[in-house]
Amino acid sequence: MLTKKSRSRQATAQMSVILFGFGLMIFMFNGCTGSRPPVSASSYQFSFKNQDYQIRSIASVDVRESCNELKANNLLAIDFDQDGIIDRVVLGNLTLSEAQQIYDYGLDKVAKENKIQERVPVLNYYVHENADYDYEIRSFQPINSQPFNQFKVIDKRPMIPSQLVIIVDQNADGNLDEVLVGITTPEQYQAKYAEILKEGIQKNKLVKTDNMILVKEK
């Protein structure tokens, strides 16, 4: 099976998805001692602007091992929490927004071919709400990769069309680095991010360790 998160980018829509493709291969990785949790993987191939790509989806009992990979020659981009948004470009020269465009195209093709089944993932996040905005911090601690945070801002004001901003803190060090979704800059939200981090630490919802600030695991 191939796993992907839902296409919705609203705060309440945090769904992951399973993609079923042709020639599907299922891989079960069980160590000799039986200590490693079962892992299944599947893939979907497509073309975008005359380039071949593959979305490979990994599902595991251990949420840290579950992710979606966008792959091509000299490209590896990862959607760690399978929410339909590329979190990191590991290999290649594409920006996050460029990788996202390709990923969106592939996911839309999968949806149109009716090869998606949704499931609800387990996520660690901290939310601060007021009358006008929802602010959310998600922490990612993937295996063999540097932890990072995503800062999500949802504009709830009724007279304004719903807007979503997502900015990544690449090293979870309290400094916003790159915009994933929205037309803005990290600098515009840095003060609010610092404020939410301070509040989360005071409420014991966030923890500071090794020069990183992360959502406390539940």
Domain count, the chain: 2
Identify whether residues 109 and 146 lie together within a single domain. no
Domain C-terminal end among 63, 97, 119:
119
Identify whether residues 113 and 40 lie together within a single domain. yes
pLDDT digits (tens, 9 = 90+) for 29-85: 333 334 445 567 788 999 999 999 999 888 766 666 678 899 999 999 998 888 888
Q: Which regions of the chain does DSSP assign to beta strands (E)? A: 2-5, 16-19, 39-48, 51-60, 67-72, 75-79, 88-91, 116-119, 125-129, 133-140, 148-155, 163-169, 178-181, 206-209, 212-215
Query: Does the pLDDT of residue 146 top 60, yes or no?
Result: yes
Q: What is the mean pLDDT of residues 203-208?
A: 95
Identify whether residues 115 and 132 lie together within a single domain. no
| Segments forming the whole domain that contains residue 160 | 125-215
Overall pTM > 0.75:
no
pLDDT digits (tens, 9 = 90+) for 6-21: 444 433 333 344 454 3
Per the prediction, the chain carries an average pLDDT of: 80
pLDDT digits (tens, 9 = 90+) for 171-200: 999 999 999 888 899 999 999 999 999 999
Domain C-terminal end among 85, 119, 153:
119
Identify whether residues 204 and 103 lie together within a single domain. no
Domain C-terminal end among 101, 119, 137:
119
